[in-house]
Amino acid sequence: MKDLRIMSVFGTRPEAIKMAPLVKELAAREGITSICCVTAQHREMLDSVLAVFDLKPDWDLDIMTPRQTLSTITSKCLLGMDEAIDTLKPDMILVHGDTSTTFAGALSAFYHQVPVGHVEAGLRTYDKYSPFPEEMNRKLVTAIADLYFCPTENNRRNLERENVAGQMFVTGNTVIDALKTTVRKDYHFTTEILNRLPYGSKKILLVTCHRRENYGQPMEDIMSALAEIARTHGDVELVYPVHLSPVVQECAHRHLDGIGNVHLIDPLAADEMHNLMARCYLVLTDSGGLQEEAPALGKPVLVLRRETERPEAVAAGTVKLAGVDKGEILSLAHRLITDPAAYAAMAHAVNPYGDGEACRRIADAILWHFGRGEKPEDFHA
Ligand code: UD1
Ligand code: UDP
């Protein structure tokens, strides 16, 4: 029997971290040829992930430009994907999550009448402008896809409510598979400053912020809140690996440069980030991925957004929606820094997003779809 040619398409840092273990799982399976196509919507931040997971793409569209617009990303991906699909002839294309690469990858697969598997399917906020443009990307990919790999039962229910017709599987999130390979008790950082942080004597606050819907006033207020948290709490060290987006770089440096206990550093490699998270006290972020990783590591999270498509850890009590109002962020952070009982109530490890077996279930589901194996069992939190 001929091998199935399964092509994974991704382009940004979070897609790469979450697809890397899947690309490897597929490559290890008998009967599958795993093909890796990157758009390089992110260049440096993608290459860093490829290096950590030792992945060599079969195709690289190399589309990134500084301050790229949504239209540029989508159109360059679409044009580039034509040749990739014609040359590599996949039997199925896998896309991940909700970025512009995800949408363009799925649309291009549809144009070539190649079936689509959507990894991390079924997340919703039901607000089309928040997160922007991700919520719409998810819905558009839902309309195109044939197979849906939902991280949680809740995600599957979202799709069922929309009367989605394709095959659905509850697999857990592949980010937990990735975390299992990166976090080590005896990990030694290559970013030297991270080895020197006073983990025992001070509270390390890990910060990230990059969302497009936060550009402008919300991001100004978030950065201003972060500056005040650092200035008013002498017992914290704030570590912030700043996203390479020029919009974010400018705002972060304007508010936070020159504050003694704030460390603005370059984006971290995924293994460095995961191990720093495992050692920090508290996470403040508008990232999607961090909301999934921190609960697995027992770290409380304040989400710097108005909504979240990841309600599972909020329900479990380890994640709080802080919003983008400066006063609210200050008061929630103050409480977690100064009130041990409030902190302890949030600092327990939970695994609503996966058990580290998501990639095995996804590979099994693909083989089953093509009539070549057993249907995988669902992930239950
Ligand atoms: C993108 C995704 C977002 C995801 C985020 C993860 C879209 C529309 N947005 O947002 O869903 O949460 O990635 O980080 O798909 N840049 C570099 N080098 C890099 C990466 C980015 O210089 O390695 C700079 C470039 O100037 C680029 C800008 O950052 O134009 C913005 O990148 P872009 O992918 O458009 O948006 P993100 O905010 O990263
Ligand atoms: N991450 C990283 N280095 C950093 C910041 C984040 O490796 O400096 C990882 C993080 O651990 C998570 C993923 O990148 O796995 C999240 O990416 P991001 O926040 O950029 O995007 P989102 O998840 O919000 O789409």
* Nearby residues of 328 by Cβ (< 8 Å), 6 or more positions away: 322
The residue whose C-alpha atom lies closest to atom 24 belonging to ligand 2 is 287
Which residue ranges have their beta carbon within 6 Å of ligand 2?
Answer: 13-14, 17, 175, 208, 210, 241, 267-268, 270, 273-274, 287-290, 293
pLDDT score, position 326? 98
Query: What does the H/E/C string look like for 311-335?
Result: HHHHHHCCEEECCCCHHHHHHHHHH
Best of 45, 187, 210, 290 for a ligand 2 pocket test (most atoms within 8 Å of beta carbon): 290
Q: Which ligand number lies closest to the CA of residue 52?
A: 2
- Tell me whether residue 98 is one of the annotated catalytic residues: yes
Task: Give 132: exposed, middle or buried? Use CB within 10 Å, 0-12, 13-18, 19+.
Answer: middle
Crossing angle (nearest 10°) for helices 174-182 and 288-296: 60
Identify whether 352 is preceded by a cis peptide bond (ω within 30 of 0): no
Q: Is the pLDDT of residue 201 over 90?
A: yes
Cα–Cα distance, 305 to 323 (Å, whole number) = 5
- Tell how far the Cα of 135 is from the centroid of ligand 2, in angstroms: 18
pLDDT score, position 213? 95
Q: Is the pLDDT of residue 349 over 90?
A: no
Cα–Cα distance, 304 to 296 (Å, whole number) = 19
- Tell me whether residue 58 is one of the annotated catalytic residues: no
Instruction: Select from 150, 149, 147 the least CA-distant residue to 165.
Output: 147
Domains and CATH numbers, the chain: 4-173+354-369 (3.40.50.2000), 192-347 (3.40.50.2000)
pLDDT in tens, 225-271: 999 999 999 999 999 999 999 999 999 999 999 999 999 999 999 99
Average pLDDT over residues 61-71: 97
> ∠295-284-132 over CA atoms, to 5°?
95
- Tell how far the Cα of 12 is from the centroid of ligand 1, in angstroms: 7
pLDDT in tens, 282-302: 999 999 999 999 999 999 999
- Tell how far the Cα of 73 is from the centroid of ligand 1, in angstroms: 10
- Tell me whether residue 357 is one of the annotated catalytic residues: no
- Compute the mean pLDDT over every residue in the chain, rounded to the nearest whole number: 98
pLDDT score, position 108? 98
Crossing angle (nearest 10°) for helices 217-232 and 246-256: 30
Average pLDDT over residues 100-120: 98
CB 68 within 8 A of CB 2: no
- Tell how far the Cα of 267 is from the centroid of ligand 1, in angstroms: 12
- Tell me whether residue 212 is one of the annotated catalytic residues: yes
- Which of these is catalytic: 15, 60, 120, 293? 120
pLDDT in tens, 203-216: 999 999 999 999 99
Strands 203-208 and 32-38: unpaired
Evaluate: CB of 29 within 6 angstroms of ligand 1: no
pLDDT in tens, 9-44: 999 999 999 999 999 999 999 999 999 999 999 999
- Tell me whether residue 188 is one of the annotated catalytic residues: no
- Tell how far the Cα of 289 is from the centroid of ligand 1, in angstroms: 14
Q: Is the pLDDT of residue 341 over 90?
A: yes
pLDDT in tens, 145-185: 999 999 999 999 999 999 999 999 999 999 999 999 999 99
Element (H, E) at 240: strand 236-241
The residue whose C-alpha atom lies closest to atom 15 belonging to ligand 1 is 99
Average pLDDT over residues 192-203: 97
pLDDT in tens, 302-312: 999 999 999 99
pLDDT score, position 373? 95
